[in-house]
């Protein structure tokens, strides 16, 4: 089944993407709204640290990305003016590439208005620390900044949220995480475990991008799609020069094949990852974010011909790893050691599955 990548996302559960036998009805593109002015870029410095005396950052900080081995939590204090303040460190949604076994704990912490910090590990294991500035002068952001389809769903492209595409390449110009292409077997929902009531979600997306790409050494963003508290949708994992997310070019692939990513350790190939920004363990997701999540999952379920209330016997085409999970799953359905996508979001998935099934009936 040949599927135009520009037919894969639409806005609103009531909009129809007709998938008949062997055919797909594409939606016509409508003009995108005016782009936001001058979205900043992201830069960073990577360090390897143990328990530390105060560290002075090499640049202005907006976030610290922390990645470490072992169970002990990392303590973090930052200096604001002449005072030192403890900053909570919530372990992030785990993940990892299918071709790189082994797990590390991680966290992305917003630390605005500070240039000095100290870590308390409680262990001799060093920490990979990404000193991140998400408000930097952009290095590369060419291409359309947003896209809009019939039905009203607008998403921000990688250029639109300020991705520095150079981070995906080594100093020698080698792509660090070249995509491989796979039929979709399942969809997985996450939360980012970043701050709630986020005043600048695009900045957080840039922080996640640097953290995944550099600090955690994925080579790119681990999620395919990101949704903020206002319901705005962001393109995640790079999937080709066309800005449409998730899927490969229909002129090359004869079916809707997804780009492999790094959102569930060991179970990524054939598994599309969608993340809601925020910490949803104790806080309810916003209605706007849930509305967009429902729209996106409905479209992906329809295009990939998945049963939204079904169960999938997943087989990783890269490693052969297997798991039996709900076809629309939460991260903790794959890994019992993670709290992702947060109890408040995970509890809503049964109702979301029912709503999608009703929309597709």
Residue 78 has a pLDDT of 93
Is pLDDT larger for residue 132 or for residue 120?
A: 132
Handedness of CA 291, 300, 194, 340 (dihedral sign): positive
**Model pLDDT for residues 81-119, shown as the tens digit of each residue:** 888 999 989 888 888 999 887 678 899 999 987 889 998
Reply yes or no on whether the pLDDT at 208 is more than 60.
Answer: yes
CATH-assigned architecture of domain 41-136: Sandwich (2.60)
Most confident of 114-118, 239-243, 283-287, 335-339: 283-287
- Quickly state the pLDDT bin for 144 (edges 50, 70, 90): low
Residues in the chain: 361
* Residue 14 pLDDT > 60: no
The pLDDT, as a whole number, for residue 281 is 96
Tell me the pairing of strands 181-183 and 257-259. Answer: antiparallel
Report yes or no: 202 and 161 within 8 Å, Cβ to Cβ.
yes
pLDDT of residue 72: 67
Beta bridge partners, 275, equal 190, 226
CATH 3.50.50.60 corresponds to the domain 5-30+140-360: no
pLDDT at 256: 83
How many CB atoms lie under 10 A from the CB of residue 311? Answer: 12
> Coil, strand, or helix at residue 113?
strand
Q: Please state, in angstroms and rounded to a whole number, the distance separating the CA atoms of residues 267 and 301.
A: 18
Indicate whether 128 pLDDT > 60.
yes
End-to-end Cα separation, the chain, in angstroms: 21
Lowest mean pLDDT among 49-58, 80-89, 123-132, 139-148: 139-148
Q: What is the pLDDT of residue 122?
A: 65
CB 130 within 8 A of CB 45: yes
Residues 6+ apart with CB under 8 A from 167: 42, 209, 210, 213, 214
Q: Delimit the domains of the chain by residue range.
A: 5-30+140-360, 41-136
């Amino acid at each position: 089944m040949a599927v135009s990548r520009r037919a894969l996302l639409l806005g609103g559960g009531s909009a129809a993407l007709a998938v008949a036998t062997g055919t797909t009805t594409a939606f016509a593109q409508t003009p995108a709204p005016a782009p936001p002015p001058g979205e900043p870029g992201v830069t960073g410095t990577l360090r390897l640290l143990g328990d530390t005396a105060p560290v002075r950052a090499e640049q202005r900080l907006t976030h610290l990305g922390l990645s470490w081995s072992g169970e002990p939590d990392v303590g973090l204090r930052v200096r604001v003016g002449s005072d030192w303040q403890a900053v909570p460190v919530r372990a992030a949604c785990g993940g990892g590439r299918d071709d790189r076994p082994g797990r590390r704990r991680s966290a992305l912490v917003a630390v605005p208005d500070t240039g000095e910090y100290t870590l308390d590990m409680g262990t001799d294991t060093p920490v990979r620390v990404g000193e991140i500035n998400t408000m930097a002068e952009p290095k590369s952001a060419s291409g359309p900044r947003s896209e809009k389809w019939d039905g009203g769903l607008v998403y921000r492209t990688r250029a639109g949220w300020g991705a520095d595409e150079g981070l995906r390449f080594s100093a020698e110009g080698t792509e660090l995480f070249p995509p491989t292409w796979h039929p979709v077997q399942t969809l997985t929902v996450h939360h980012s475990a970043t701050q709630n009531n986020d005043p600048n979600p695009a900045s957080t997306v840039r922080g996640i991008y640097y953290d995944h790409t550099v600090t955690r050494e994925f080579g790119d963003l681990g999620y395919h799609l990101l949704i903020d508290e206002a319901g705005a949708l962001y393109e995640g994992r790079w999937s080709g020069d066309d800005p449409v997310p998730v899927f490969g070019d229909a002129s090359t692939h004869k079916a809707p094949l997804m780009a492999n990513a790094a959102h569930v350790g060991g179970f990524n190939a054939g598994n599309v990852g969608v993340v809601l920004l925020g910490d949803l363990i104790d806080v309810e997701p916003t209605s706007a974010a849930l509305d967009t999540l429902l729209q996106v999952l409905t479209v992906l379920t329809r295009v990939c011909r998945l049963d939204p209330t079904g169960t999938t016997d997943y087989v990783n085409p890269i490693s052969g790893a297997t798991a039996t999970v709900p076809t629309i799953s939460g991260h903790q359905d794959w890994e019992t050691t993670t709290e992702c996508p947060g109890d408040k979001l995970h509890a809503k998935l049964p109702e979301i599955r029912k709503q999608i099934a009703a929309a597709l009936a």
